[in-house]
Amino acid sequence: MEKILVSACLVGERVRYNGVVKSFESHILKSWNRRGRVVAICPEVAGGLPVPRPRSEISGGDGNQVLSSHNKVININGQDVTKYFLEGAVKALELAGSLGIKLAIFKEGGPSCGSSYIYDGSFSGIKKPGKGVTAALLGKNGIRVFSEREILKADNYIKTLII
């Protein structure tokens, strides 16, 4: 049975930067969870960041540029927290690799998990196209990353892996 890597916040774990639980209600996600398919991870916590923690955004570019050392992840206090995001991305990739995971459902918008957009680094709520650090690393390694808004598409995709 295919396992699915899922942002821990989506399954109700208290891992978000502000400590607020923001689970995602979906019959598909509930079904996967009941059948033991969900493997939850918060790359930021796995990388060593606490809960709560100062908000972070990618300063210029996206996760791909962070992976290539061309950009950094900075928190709202101006501290460079790139190493935590890189460490968390590597741990997520290692976990996925150890379990043969080929699919991830991640919380859209975050500097780790964003799959189609992230925030622009100004801490003003402005979104821009791009991937978070973990989403970019997983994608570079052949793991499809979907946002929670694409869960039906992801469910259809995983069915193609099983057939």
Instruction: Write down how long the chain is.
Output: 163
State which residues form the domain around 158: 4-162
106-145 core/surface letters (b: 16 or more CB in 10 A; e: else): bbbbbbbbbbbbbbbbeeeeeeeebbbbbbbbbbeeebbb
Number of domains in the chain: 1
Helix, coil or strand: residue 117: strand
Of the candidates 4, 84, 80, the residue with the CA atom closest to the CA atom of residue 38: 4
pLDDT grade for 136, boundaries at 50, 70 and 90: very high
The pLDDT value recorded for residue 63 is 98
pLDDT grade for 162, boundaries at 50, 70 and 90: low
